[in-house]
Structure 1
């Protein structure tokens, strides 16, 4: 017990109490598992002298008799007289994990927030600065709320109003700026920075994330509409269930290594997958809970009451999240839904005309190709390509019976034959039947320098009616479920689709070259094609199309990865949140993915949760004053900084919840304080005692961001594009 007793616990392991022994140490593995010696880590390290942490590290090792006795004791149930009924008590005295209680207000000020601040100033012997002048105030409010400087006319108008009635003029100024559409842009920028959002995935590949800006625009709208913060959280975790599908871009905001770039080595694939899930964990932990959850990936958290079991239980909630895209689920009144409803009839009419006039219609748009043809019953389709080298990914075949059901899926009994199977040595051939993505994936390549054209044959188990096929060359994104997303500009060589007829001959159903030639000969069809392309281009901007906002699958069981290694899985854990915060959500390994995420969102937004409101109001304070009440805004744990005004933080968090989680109301309440209105001028006593203005005896001066400087210059020059949202340039 010298190293693992009451006074000292090396590696966090304590062996003088049965519940703590069963819990284990920092490794996250239980030291003893009653009746299961093969799973008891303690027995493992004392039995193997070559173990990387063989115990004891010094002195005589246990004899064979000692080890046998220990093994038998574990096998018999690890009986410990006097401790068999003791339960492990999870507790912590760290301030941020304590229940949120609204503190009583100090006396001395009409403004509750100023009352807390002034009490600290008096205790520190500091005198508060006088209020800033009107010109400084309007500049401060504009930059803080919208990131844009006031115009000379706005400054003059405010100075006049402020002279007549300072309180009303200042309050009206805040209201006007909060109602500006640029407020959402400014504060969305803060949020996107916190979650590390970008339109590329980072790392060496730095691939473009298709239409990732959908999520950015959602965040802008959420701040402009003052979406309650608890709703904002829920939508970002489970928006696909709430008709706000764009919001789940939050889950895939962080950097990641795309699956397509890690190669085919199984261990590399598993490691990359574990890393992507960890990115989700870190995004949620830092932004919404203010905890460094990633520190529990390889062992129990060194400082905070988060075990390795907690970490992997949390990953079990989000194991179904894939860093990929989908068409967002949108409510019927969503602007993109309305626009699609307006233009669909026109698209369908022109598609029908093209089919009737020339027998088929080619939609060969960029990275995704979609070709429709007359309804045809066949047992075999053949696709021939015009180039000897072609990479095809995600082929799908559809019929009139169900326009969304992929008839080429391996689960339907469909098989695939490709020309590359018949090539001799020296050919490059790769083939995979990929049930996870629900598609066929292959590389069909002729021999080097050969003029042979590759082909693929799709063999159905029985004759079936088909009328459309499509394929993609980009594994990172999933195919769209309709034609809203096709993009002008062809990257593919010519190809044609043929069906096997009853007499054994092949009938051409569609071909890219034939389509182009027919359109040239038929002015009416050519005009309809151009109109259709124009409509599709319009929908590309306005329709509910494919976006990098996450793709969801049903995960299997989740296991604790010993030392974070996917190659060393241990015990299975259920989907759950942190045990220290009553995180049992009543879920198991068979619970559906959407239910897991929604249950977690409900747990996180419960008013009794000790972290959620505290973290967000602290972040708001940080953006208003330059430093949070807790300076480490993403770490409320033991290793993070302590709050400078703990009672003020709890009062703000309580007020935030009681006011319906309104971010705009919280911003205004803080900006109405005398602390926010103070002059930034230095004063000798204050600079000696509190040079960083931590206690807010003056308004802390700080540099503005590069974006603010840039936008200010553009606005002054009259060249600022004030359009809200849309595709990035």
Structure 2
């Protein structure tokens, strides 16, 4: 019995010893594995695997797995376990033959030799190729993929130093460089004005800072709150979003309602929409807020790129084209919000970044339900009503401010009585044309009452003789009192061919009860203005104007205010001299009860050009036309400032009108996405396993697993994707937008490639600034305006651009920010600035685009011919032009305006002879120079004063005495217009310093 107990005791001791020994061995193995994974694997990955991996085996050697490493390559086994001296790997490393460009240091050599000595125990097998970065690719340890933190300020920074400046100064000291002195006030303000608004500052704005009336910081705040801020920064965003207003490819069909997304972006910037929400709505607005028209419009981001509308009969081709569309979605979303070229993993794992092919298809699965096309957006009557009240409030304040000056100018008759019609009729007095010989003849007996000529709606109408001149671009105007609101189809005034086959007319109630419309033959130029139903009848006169612009834009005004939304017709009708006439009370001949108007016509006019909104408003009020510019010139400086602020507020409110009144928008159309499969080599013929929607695992701080099934709905997939991308835990999301904004202010990002934060983008020049500003952006509730303010108020931004030979020798690219880098204006900034200098810039905010191209069809495909149309609607800021992919603008093209078919995160800045030739000789520049000089000549009669004014309008400064003398002599010899052209072509005008 004692023996049995002893035996049991002995067995227990032996077992305990064995367990302890086994535990010790396992611990040793685990420690060796940890040592391999923590030290050896990163070393092999960073120094060896770029040339010796499973896919690329230089010398036949693969070091990514134990079996392959032990097998060796063309020279034999690479590793002899426990014997470094017999290991070819160690021999090459010790002799520093390998790696060839960056030999290992002594510490790294010791790690490798000790590992071989210890038996070359392998840990994770094979080595995770995505785990570590090397000199050929990024791993999951790549800097931009790591979680975001707020960096500690340099120890050398004083308490009152702005963090941006503290980090820059520390880097400059490290590089033995010094910052440049501060820029002059005028130079800095011009730089900041273009940086915020894309336009030069006014003389008054420069003077307000010089005099101390306003500080630099206060002016920056004011500019950030101007409508021009949103217009300028929307242009930057639309470059990245590859925004265009036609399909591109072979057929390049127009997208008449794509502009609503452009307006959405402008309004979002102006409203300082939190960037988190800004991104979420563009990815999944229709899913997150399905009842919000604005959120639906935001998804125009996904589909604003080029789209091949061709429908091949072969199913395989349709599948390939669909995969191309999905690659466009994933590529744009990845580069825009994450700075990752995810689309490069369509056919295989990414060659440079830790993104697998499977993850690419996880991303495509998230957008598999998104399709191109138009969708309806409902009207928002409550918001329209509130907006109209705010608009009327601003208008009333402007009227009160302008009234005293307007009365003075009217009394003095110092201005013209307004635009000159080519024909005008006052039917209270007679049927005679007050301008020429287009006298109206009643076609049936008519009755004249105090209010005007009575139209009975059954038989009465009037007609003029044939036109003496051809008319295409035009304005029709009438004061009319309707007998009843239920009539359908009569016209107040119509321009028709003599046979009545073709016509343009102001028509009431024809297609939409109680609404005004532009009538036309076969409705070819007719569409709904979506205006309010008419409420006035009886003896109440209504003023109605319809304008017909050269690009096909047709606009209606009622009582001096915009009526509904303008729209664009495919073409304008040409009413030839001798073959057209004006008729009143009849839509078009021959007569028919449904074409006749019942009411009273008081006055009518016709113009051979498009009236501006300002001119229409003046005409509606029956006041002499006095330009706003002349009124503002007579206001005090304080009143001018108030007028500018009210006008900016009004423009911003007017820009929101069109999107609240409903209609159609080119935006994402969500459908059943089906199941997404990984495609071998990207081919639809090689379908592999089903893939659910998901993110990129290498991005630290959040899970890439969306926990959705492969057959999940479009709504569920995109909602998860929006949550994953637009998250404060996503380190790329904040870093990328901070870098974009920095790039546009300094001409170069902290990361040189705004769309690529992966391996090919390299390292950040100032990673601490990038992370500090990213953390600050989050802390400031994602306010981009605050981010701008912090950058623009830094001493780094305020440096002069003065060249320093010694600093340039150290840092030729100004990577370390020892000065402000001068830059040329962008194409749009040049065009807009020329318009402003010439006094022609139309600051109308929002709405349908103007067309500086003439579209035409040829064999079913859309083509666009560049034209140089005249008129206020064509003098709007460049962002409002119709960006047809095949419709280019010669001036913008000359100055590197990008093709909207592809994302353009940064503009090229070339210098070519064609630029100088375009600025000197293009029809647009010739016309602007003529208009510029004509405007100056109206204000000044003496040549010296004209020269001085030209300098002030171009450079916002007076000329020096030498400049004035030379310019005066030049203008005397070649003309003031030629001088204006030279000034607009100067480096001082075209560049920022």
Q: Taking structure 2 as the reference length, what is the TM-score of the superposition?
A: 0.46
Measure how far apart 1:206 and its partner are: 1.7
Rounded to whole Å, the distance in 1 between the matches of 2:765 and 2:782 is 23
**Are 2:308 and 1:298 equivalent residues in the alignment?**
no
Measure how far apart 1:567 and its partner are: 2.4
DSSP 3-state at the match of 2:592: helix
**Are 2:55 and 1:11 equivalent residues in the alignment?**
yes
Rounded to whole Å, the distance in 2 between the matches of 1:549 and 1:654 is 32
- 1:616 alignment counterpart: 737
**Structure-to-structure mapping, 1:124-273, within 5 angstroms:** 124-161=175-212, 169-240=215-286, 241-242=288-289, 243=292, 244-258=295-309, 261-273=310-322
- 1:31 alignment counterpart: none
Structure 1 residues 18 and 706: CA distance shift in structure 2, 3 A: same
**Are 2:592 and 1:520 equivalent residues in the alignment?**
yes
**Are 2:798 and 1:677 equivalent residues in the alignment?**
yes
Indicate which of 566, 578, 582 corresponds to 2:696.
578
**Residue-by-residue CA offset, 1:175-212 (whole Å, 9 max, x unaligned):** 11101110000000000001111111222322211310
Measure how far apart 1:522 and its partner are: 3.5
Structure 1 residues 710 and 489: CA distance shift in structure 2, 3 A: closer
**Are 2:610 and 1:564 equivalent residues in the alignment?**
no
Aligned length: 492
Measure how far apart 1:108 and its partner are: 2.2
Structure 1 residues 558 and 695: CA distance shift in structure 2, 3 A: same
- 2:924 alignment counterpart: none
**Structure-to-structure mapping, 1:459-608, within 5 angstroms:** 520-522=592-594, 543-581=661-699, 582-608=703-729
Measure how far apart 1:274 and its partner are: 0.9
Structure number with higher relative contact order (C-alpha < 8 Å, ≥ 6 residues apart): 1
Rounded to whole Å, the distance in 1 between the matches of 2:264 and 2:801 is 36
DSSP 3-state at the match of 1:675: helix
Structure 1 residues 727 and 488: CA distance shift in structure 2, 3 A: closer
Structure 1 residues 540 and 134: CA distance shift in structure 2, 3 A: closer
**Residue-by-residue CA offset, 1:640-694 (whole Å, 9 max, x unaligned):** 1210011111111111111111100000001111110011010121111112211
Worse overlay, 651-660 or 91-100? 91-100
- 1:695 alignment counterpart: 816
Q: CA RMSD in A?
A: 3.8
**Structure-to-structure mapping, 1:262-661, within 5 angstroms:** 262-328=311-377, 334-335=383-384, 520-522=592-594, 543-581=661-699, 582-661=703-782
**Residue-by-residue CA offset, 1:226-282 (whole Å, 9 max, x unaligned):** 001000001111111321211000001222212xx2432212211111111111111
**Are 2:710 and 1:664 equivalent residues in the alignment?**
no
Measure how far apart 1:334 and its partner are: 4.7
**Residue-by-residue CA offset, 1:402-448 (whole Å, 9 max, x unaligned):** xxxxxxxxxxxxxxxxxxxxxxxxxxxxxxxxxxxxxxxxxxxxxxx
Measure how far apart 1:517 and its partner are: 11
Rounded to whole Å, the distance in 2 between the matches of 1:201 and 1:523 is 39
Rounded to whole Å, the distance in 2 between the matches of 1:82 and 1:677 is 54
Contact 2:180/2:800, CA 8 A, preserved across alignment: yes
Rounded to whole Å, the distance in 1 between the matches of 2:689 and 2:806 is 60
Contact 1:235/1:248, CA 8 A, preserved across alignment: yes
- 1:122 alignment counterpart: 173
Contact 1:6/1:16, CA 8 A, preserved across alignment: no
**Residue-by-residue CA offset, 1:603-635 (whole Å, 9 max, x unaligned):** 112211120000000101001100000001100
Measure how far apart 1:354 and its partner are: 6.8
Indicate which of 705, 715, 721 corresponds to 2:836.
715
Rounded to whole Å, the distance in 1 between the matches of 2:369 and 2:66 is 36
Measure how far apart 1:589 and its partner are: 2.5
Rounded to whole Å, the distance in 2 between the matches of 1:313 and 1:693 is 40
Rounded to whole Å, the distance in 2 between the matches of 1:277 and 1:123 is 46
Structure 1 residues 120 and 84: CA distance shift in structure 2, 3 A: closer
Rg larger in structure: 2
Rounded to whole Å, the distance in 1 between the matches of 2:66 and 2:722 is 35
Measure how far apart 1:568 and its partner are: 2.0
Contact 1:293/1:306, CA 8 A, preserved across alignment: yes
Indicate which of 94, 98, 106 corresponds to 2:146.
98
Contact 2:692/2:711, CA 8 A, preserved across alignment: no
**Residue-by-residue CA offset, 1:121-142 (whole Å, 9 max, x unaligned):** 0011111111011110111111
Contact 1:317/1:575, CA 8 A, preserved across alignment: yes
Rounded to whole Å, the distance in 2 between the matches of 1:202 and 1:159 is 49
Contact 1:317/1:596, CA 8 A, preserved across alignment: yes
Rounded to whole Å, the distance in 2 between the matches of 1:82 and 1:700 is 50
DSSP 3-state at the match of 1:130: coil
Rounded to whole Å, the distance in 2 between the matches of 1:85 and 1:10 is 10
Q: Taking structure 1 as the reference length, what is the TM-score of the superposition?
A: 0.62
Rounded to whole Å, the distance in 2 between the matches of 1:571 and 1:228 is 39
Measure how far apart 1:157 and its partner are: 2.4
Contact 1:519/1:525, CA 8 A, preserved across alignment: no
Structure 1 residues 277 and 671: CA distance shift in structure 2, 3 A: same
**Residue-by-residue CA offset, 1:556-609 (whole Å, 9 max, x unaligned):** 000011111122221110011112232111111232212211211111122111
**Residue-by-residue CA offset, 1:699-721 (whole Å, 9 max, x unaligned):** 11111101111111111111101
**Residue-by-residue CA offset, 1:162-187 (whole Å, 9 max, x unaligned):** xx8xxx71101111110111000000
Contact 2:832/2:841, CA 8 A, preserved across alignment: yes
Worse overlay, 539-548 or 563-572? 539-548
Structure 1 residues 331 and 566: CA distance shift in structure 2, 3 A: farther
Contact 1:19/1:86, CA 8 A, preserved across alignment: no
Segments of 5+ residues of structure 1 without an aligned counterpart are 21-80, 340-349, 356-370, 373-483, 492-514, 528-538
Rounded to whole Å, the distance in 1 between the matches of 2:821 and 2:566 is 51
Structure 1 residues 264 and 518: CA distance shift in structure 2, 3 A: farther
Rounded to whole Å, the distance in 1 between the matches of 2:268 and 2:754 is 21
DSSP 3-state at the match of 2:55: helix
DSSP 3-state at the match of 1:685: helix
Rounded to whole Å, the distance in 2 between the matches of 1:88 and 1:693 is 35
Contact 2:693/2:717, CA 8 A, preserved across alignment: yes
Contact 1:485/1:546, CA 8 A, preserved across alignment: no
DSSP 3-state at the match of 1:546: strand
Structure 1 residues 6 and 99: CA distance shift in structure 2, 3 A: same
DSSP 3-state at the match of 2:761: coil
Measure how far apart 1:153 and its partner are: 2.5
Rounded to whole Å, the distance in 1 between the matches of 2:247 and 2:845 is 24
